Every structure is written in C-alpha cells, then in structure tokens.
C-alpha cells in the first residue's frame, strides 16, 4: 500500500479503523486517504453506523469486570485465546447483543438495524468479527458522530448527537482547518466520521487535521462545537470573533 493507500487497500481497513483497533501506521494511511477520497468517505459513512452500536455492549462487558460471567464472545476476546474458526459464532453473539442493544435505544431508527445487521454479516464473513471483539486501541474519536438539527433562536441549526450547536469558522477552507491548539480547545472539532440523523441534508465529509485526527465537514465547512455552550440549545458562539476569524452557527438547509 502506498503512502496514501489504494481504495481497495483502505476499504479493507475501514472496519478496524471504525472500531479503533487499527494499527497506528495503518490508521495514518487510512486518514490520509479519506481526506482526499470522497468515495471511500462515503463507504466509511455507510459502515460507521455499526461500531457505535457494537461499542456499547463492548463497554458493558468491560464494565462488568473479570468477576462477572461475560458472554462467550467476550470471554474469548478478553482471554486473548486464538479463536480461529469461531468467526461465525462470534458474529452470532455480536448480532444477538446488537439486537438487544438496539431494542434499548429508542432513538435508533429501524433502518440502522437493517444496515448494521447486514454489515455485521458481511464483516463476519470477512473475518472482521474477531477484530471487532478486541478492546479498542484508541479513544472515542473513531465513533461515528450522528448529526441532528434543532431550533435555536428561530433558526434550524445543525447539532451534534447531544443537541449542541455546531459552528463553522470563517478562515477555514474545505480541506484545512485554521483552528489549532488553544483555538481548538475553545472550539472543539467534531470528529469524523459523521453521519446524518433525522432532518439533516447537505454533504458530509472529512478533513485530516494537523494532529492526524479526522474532522467532520458539512457542505465543505469543518465542524466545531463551542466550549462556551454549556448545554444544548445554546448558540453563544454565533457571530463571535475568536482565533483570528469569525464563528457562525451552521444553519441547516440554508435556514
Ligand atoms: Zn478511495
């Protein structure tokens, strides 16, 4: 695989990239490739519904601790025993846990279940199910961010999954963020991959930040939240000049 990877090579890595289990060197290749390849970003967006659902039971298993009796799929993963040949069984365990997880999640839409179940079958066949049971190698930046909309100050604005208003920064361009370091602490970038929730139209994408992380974009604008917003429904950052430019709330669908 070259320094930026081929589409086929990168796509074979998207599953483990989403789970956070990807090797750092492979992750760098995937990040670079995604920043320049809209087709693979679309593929990633399609896949990204899955790990957010799988992460929940994985976290629960971890929280249960060694004294408990986790399901066989997690026992195998926790013990690091070779699990060759048990891929389909693990897939079934994952699927049943996934289905129960979804039943608890009222906000999840039915089509996500269909997509997730289909992807799960596909990845189990490809041997990814074993990788999915491994503890994530990195933090939550690889989880998909579900973008939503809300009425704030008489306008429909784009929000993150918790309802916090999203912003775009005047000096940015579609391929680069101009907000680093202290700026990015006041205006935390929204990690990619992002997926569209209810009522969200427009084009989602991703750029690679200088630290190698992926940042979600909306209609070519890198997305941020504002640390000044302390609860959903606020837009304290709108119109503010900070970090060398002006900040704007993202108006969904042009208002
Ligand atoms: Zn590609």
Q: 147 vs 80, 217, 224, CA distance in Å?
A: 36, 11, 12
Cα 99 to Cα 60: distance, rounded to the nearest angstrom: 15
pLDDT at 37 over 60: yes
pTM over 0.85: no
CA–centroid distance, residue 75 to ligand 1 (Å):
36
Phi, psi of 188 (to 5 degrees): -60, 125
Sheet with 214-218, strands from edge to edge, namely 204-208, 214-218, 221-222
Q: Of the spans 85-89, 150-154, 218-222, 249-253, which averages the highest pLDDT?
A: 218-222
pLDDT tens-digit series, residues 68-118: 444 443 333 333 444 444 444 455 555 555 545 545 554 455 555 455 555
- Asked, as a colleague might, if the bond just before 192 is cis with ω within 30 of 0, I would say no
How many A from CA of 251 to the centre of ligand 1? 30
Burial 133-155 (b: 16+ CB within 10 A, else e): beebeeeeebbbbbbbbbebeeb
Q: What is the per-residue pLDDT for 3?
A: 55
Q: d(Cα 69, Cα 67) in Å, to the nearest integer? A: 7
Compute, in angstroms, the gap from residue 33 CA to the centroid of ligand 1: 6
The CA 6 to ligand 1 mean position distance, Å, reads 6
Q: pLDDT tens digits for 158-169? A: 999 889 999 999
User: Residue 191 C-alpha to ligand 1 middle, in angstroms?
Assistant: 19
In the reported structure, the alpha carbon of residue 193 is separated from the centroid of ligand 1 by a whole-number distance in angstroms of: 15
CB 141 within 8 A of CB 213: yes
Task: Provide the token pair at 198.
Answer: 């209810």
């Amino acid at each position: 695989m070259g320094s930026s990877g081929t589409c086929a090579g990168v796509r074979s890595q998207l599953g483990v990239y989403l789970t956070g289990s990807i090797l750092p060197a492979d992750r760098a290749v995937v990040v670079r490739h995604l920043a320049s390849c809209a087709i693979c970003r679309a593929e990633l967006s399609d896949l990204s519904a899955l790990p957010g659902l799988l992460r929940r039971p994985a976290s629960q298993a971890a929280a249960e601790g060694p004294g408990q009796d986790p399901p066989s799929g997690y026992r195998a993963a926790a013990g690091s025993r070779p699990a060759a040949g048990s891929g389909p069984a693990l897939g079934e365990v994952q699927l049943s846990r996934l289905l129960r997880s979804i039943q608890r999640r009222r906000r999840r839409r039915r089509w996500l279940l269909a997509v997730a179940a289909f992807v799960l079958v596909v990845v189990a066949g490809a041997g990814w199910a074993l990788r999915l049971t491994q503890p994530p190698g990195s933090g939550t930046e690889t989880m998909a961010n579900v973008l939503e909309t809300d009425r704030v100050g008489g306008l429909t604005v784009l929000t993150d999954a918790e309802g916090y208003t999203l912003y775009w920064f005047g000096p940015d361009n579609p391929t680069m963020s101009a907000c680093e370091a202290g700026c990015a602490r006041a205006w935390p970038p929204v990690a990619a991959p992002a997926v569209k929730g209810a009522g969200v139209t427009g084009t989602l994408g991703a750029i690679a930040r200088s630290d190698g992380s992926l940042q979600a974009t909306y209609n070519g604008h890198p997305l941020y939240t504002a640390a000044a917003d302390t609860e959903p429904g606020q837009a304290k950052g709108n119109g503010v000049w900070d970090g060398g430019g002006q900040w704007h709330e993202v108006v969904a669908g042009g208002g």
